[in-house]
Amino acid sequence: MVINGFKKQKCPKCKKQEGLEIIYGAQTREEAERIKQGIAKPGGLRPESGPVFKWSCSSCGYVWGKT
């Protein structure tokens, strides 16, 4: 599914096209709109240590794409 040029990613675990971009920190208006449209999700504050992931599956909860 493509919404305003943004596409949900295919989950490498469950293979469903339900991967949402994880947006960390304060959101821009554009990022807030993508969250509202259901093509991204808020990630809270960016962790100071440990892995930071780019994608999260809204179907199975798997996270992937370390940044």
Q: Are 55 and 21 in contact (CB under 8 A)?
A: yes
Owning domain of residue 51: 2-66
Helices (runs of H) and strands (runs of E) counted in the chain: 1, 6
pLDDT at 2: 53
What confidence score (pLDDT) does residue 66 get? 87
Does this model's pTM top 0.75? My answer is: yes
pLDDT tens by residue, 15-42: 999 999 999 999 999 999 999 999 999 9
Strand partners, 30: none
Residue 4 pLDDT exceeds 60: no
Total structural domains in the chain?
1
In this model, does residue 1 exceed pLDDT 60? no
